[in-house]
């Protein structure tokens, strides 16, 4: 039986109030899986994110991308999983590693040098564009949506044409 992955979200802040409470509750997730190599090795970051997850009632795990790929198929049936990654590249690594992701929500990707504004909260560069279009090309539903219930913007060539 495949892991029950409710949603994967790209958010450069990883788990914060919006993700740890609003999204987790809207999805009815009982496990937040942070798939990020740096967070998997950073106890302080884990402590801060765990506090946020606790307020939603969900468990939280911190795995490297490789560990996520290696063990996702061992998830228990009762686990309703919400995966959070930092970048489109992280999401692409999981999809290439055969993690059964059906939908990717692009949340926050902050402004940085060389990035182009797509929405008020999503800025991408050429590498992000390449990874996002790769993901869209695999048949994964990929869209930008800030909060549950907000309008969804499909990620496609048209949306990313100016990047």
pLDDT tens-digit readout, 113-137 = 999 999 999 999 999 999 999 999 9
Q: What is the pLDDT of residue 1?
A: 61
CA distance 71 to 52: 24
Q: What is the pLDDT of residue 86?
A: 97
Closest CA to 19 of 143, 107, 101, 123: 107
**What's the mean per-residue pLDDT of the chain?**
94
Q: What is the pLDDT of residue 2?
A: 77
Q: What is the pLDDT of residue 21?
A: 86
Query: Which residues 6+ apart lie within 8 Å of 87 measured at CB?
Result: 10, 12, 109, 128, 131
Positions annotated as catalytic residues are 16
CA distance 46 to 16: 11
Q: What is the pLDDT of residue 16?
A: 87
Residue-wise pLDDT tens digits, 53-87? 888 899 999 999 999 999 999 999 999 999 999 99
What is the fold, at CATH topology level, of the domain defined by 4-154? Fructose Permease (3.40.35)
| Least confident piece of the model among 18-22, 47-51, 68-72 | 18-22
Measured CA to CA in angstroms, residue 1 lies from 10, 29, 32 at distances of 25, 18, 19
């Amino acid at each position: 039986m495949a892991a029950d992955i409710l949603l994967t979200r790209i958010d450069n802040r990883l788990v914060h109030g919006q993700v740890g409470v609003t999204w987790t509750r809207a999805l009815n997730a009982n496990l937040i899986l942070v798939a990020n190599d740096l967070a998997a090795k950073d106890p302080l970051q884990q402590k801060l994110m765990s506090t946020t997850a606790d307020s939603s009632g969900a468990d939280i795990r911190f795995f490297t991308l490789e560990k996520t790929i290696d063990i996702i198929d061992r998830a228990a049936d009762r686990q309703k999983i919400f995966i959070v990654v930092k970048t489109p590249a992280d999401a692409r690594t999981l999809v290439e590693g055969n993690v059964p992701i059906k939908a990717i929500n692009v949340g926050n990707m902050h402004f940085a040098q060389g990035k182009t504004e797509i929405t008020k909260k999503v800025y991408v560069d050429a590498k992000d564009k390449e990874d996002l279009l790769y993901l869209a090309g695999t048949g994964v539903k990929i869209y930008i949506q800030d909060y549950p219930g907000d309008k969804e913007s499909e990620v496609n060539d048209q949306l990313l044409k100016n990047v």
